[in-house]
């Protein structure tokens, strides 16, 4: 992890704009349909019903940094297909996109430092050992903190993309809510075994919603049992709380499409930075309007009050 932080400190930020981000700045993640574009002069943004100053708008075609986090521990067939699809997509990224690669299973580890050269990232993906324990839930916060540190230095577009086959049964911590009292038929842990998973992911979604970098999830091994459905719904909730999204491959033939959808969504996002009015509540909503434009955007924020 220290290696990545040091590397990011050496990144030529002047290539992305040297202006630092004020603590009262809020980043809104948005998308438009068709060929619609967003510009600072055309947008009207309100936070908690109060007008804000639009500082900058950056979108498709502008510089982008993607942190790709690999969490592949299960079926080799699905994992190999995911790796192949990921390599194909990395090879097609434009030169304005930088990529850093990490692994999450059995603790966070940096595989390749961020850069415009695709070679190190592709080599890291190809060499990844598919083994160990799932680690996505454990590394979400450290990854977001890392991204937040970068965004405080420069207002580039940035996204976190998890490629995972994680199962709730493959974590070191037991999230399966084991029955507390086997002899008591009224024990709620027997009737609602997914409650622990829901509580865990709900808390993570609320906490991660205080950060600025959107999280995207390409899950390549959907599971239909009760606990994994609760887990996968939780991953979707976490992603959406940050302004991102999640996709799930139900069969191996869907893996390539899932990864393509994730990258398409990442590359097409707009980053709208606004200056928050004084005396904002801790939790609030935003509204974004533009002439002839009806963008999709993250509307709920927490932990940004002043």
What is the full DSSP assignment across 37-64? ---TTT-EEEETTEE-EEEEEE-TTS-E
What ranges make up the beta strands (E) of 104-156?
Answer: 109-115
* pLDDT score of 178: 58
* pLDDT score of 22: 52
Comparing C-alpha atoms, which of 121, 23, 109 is closest to residue 65? 121
* pLDDT score of 305: 57
- In the structure encoding, which two tokens stand for residue 4, read together? 């990545």
CATH of domain 2-23+62-271: 3.40.50.410
Distance CA 112, CA 109 (A): 9
Contacts by 36-42, CB closer than 8 A, 24 or more apart:
36/292, 36/293, 36/295, 38/270, 38/272, 38/290, 38/293, 38/295, 42/290, 42/291, 42/293
Contact 293, 50 (CB under 8 A): no
pLDDT under 70 in the chain at which residues? 1-23, 177-192, 304-306
Where along the chain do its domains lie? 2-23+62-271
* pLDDT score of 23: 57
Cα angle: 42, vertex 43, 47; to 5 degrees: 160
- In the structure encoding, which two tokens stand for residue 151, read together? 């965004």
* pLDDT score of 186: 52
* pLDDT score of 81: 96
pLDDT, tens only, 79-90: 999 999 999 999
Comparing C-alpha atoms, which of 137, 136, 139, 204 is closest to residue 164? 136
Say which residues have a Cβ less than 8 Å from residue 237's Cβ, sequence separation at least 6.
Answer: 201, 202, 205
* pLDDT score of 154: 84
* pLDDT score of 24: 86
The total of other beta-carbon atoms located within 10 Å of residue 42's CB is 14
* pLDDT score of 262: 98
> CB burial class (10 A; 0-12, 13-18, 19+) of residue 230?
buried
DSSP 68: E
Distance CA 249, CA 235 (A): 14
> CB burial class (10 A; 0-12, 13-18, 19+) of residue 83?
buried
pLDDT, tens only, 246-289: 999 999 999 999 999 999 999 999 999 999 999 899 899 999 99
């Amino acid at each position: 992890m220290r290696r990545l932080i040091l590397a990011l400190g050496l990144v030529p930020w002047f290539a992305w704009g040297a202006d630092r981000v004020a603590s009262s700045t809020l980043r809104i993640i948005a998308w438009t349909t068709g060929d619609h574009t967003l510009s600072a002069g055309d947008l009207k943004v309100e936070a908690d019903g109060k007008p804000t100053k639009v500082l900058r708008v950056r979108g498709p075609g502008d510089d982008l940094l993607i942190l790709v986090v690999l969490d592949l521990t299960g079926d080799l067939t699905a994992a190999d297909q995911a790796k192949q699809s990921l390599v194909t997509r990395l090879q097609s990224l434009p030169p304005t996109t930088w990529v850093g690669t990490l692994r999450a299973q059995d603790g966070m580890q940096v595989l390749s430092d961020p850069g415009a050269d695709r070679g190190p990232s592709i080599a890291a993906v190809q060499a990844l050992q598919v083994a160990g324990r799932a680690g996505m839930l454990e590394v979400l916060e450290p990854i977001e903190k890392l991204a937040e540190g970068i965004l405080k230095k420069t207002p580039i577009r940035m996204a976190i993309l998890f490629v995972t086959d994680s199962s709730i049964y493959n974590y070191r911590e037991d999230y399966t809510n084991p029955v507390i009292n086997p002899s008591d038929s009224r024990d709620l842990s027997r009737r609602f075994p997914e409650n622990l998973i829901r509580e865990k992911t709900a808390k993570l979604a609320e906490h991660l919603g205080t950060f600025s970098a959107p999280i995207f999830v390409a899950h390549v091994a959907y599971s239909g049992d009760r606990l994994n459905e609760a887990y996968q719904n939780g991953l979707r909730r976490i992603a959406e709380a940050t302004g991102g999204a999640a996709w799930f491959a139900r069969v191996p033939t869907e893996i390539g499409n899932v990864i393509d959808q994730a990258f398409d969504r990442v590359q097409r996002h707009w980053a709208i930075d606004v200056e928050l009015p004084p005396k904002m509540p801790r939790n609030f909503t935003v509204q974004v309007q533009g002439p002839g434009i009806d963008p999709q955007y993250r509307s709920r924020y927490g932990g940004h009050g002043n």
